[in-house]
Structure 1
């Protein structure tokens, strides 16, 4: 089960990293307005996600990759908490409404726990 969780996480992160370059416009919508250069942030975080995914997929580096994934996803909480803070019921996009923004936070907390579990199991 530990191997399945680790490989799934590695594939998920690598795929998400690639998606940053395939559909960057979507990821730019997740960057808080007060952060500058959203295009650069999307590219850097995409590259980081891909690299961390590769670490998780490599048994020798799996523990380090799991901890790096947990740290990276924790950094993303800034964006999701900011979205929750500025959420409004009248927004067209689900992720910009309170329920959607809260879901973003909860899902990312799950990803952090998943990453920590993979790191701990690999140690």
Structure 2
């Protein structure tokens, strides 16, 4: 059996998921710097479900989001997240809402960035 990996468990909207330290820190940073007049944004990051299966995690983050992270030892390898945290931080700085709804044809279609 391999040594346990150290990642962070994120709590959000009554649920939890595990992701890399770097991505967890970027998400906390995102919520901390979002101005009060900014709209919510969809952010999708790599994570793991409760059983340790890799699973993308979609979050709607905005000025009233409440998230928490804490260190956790896990038995599975950290996901590949190269550049993900940088893109989350850039999205936070950009003040652009990347979740757009196109309803010109009467049907709503979400268009958002996946990290």
What TM-score does the superposition give when structure 1 sets the normalisation length? 0.30
TM-score under structure 2 length normalisation: 0.32
Q: Of Structure 1 and Structure 2, which has the larger fraction of its residues in strand?
A: 2
Give the structure with the larger helix fraction: 1
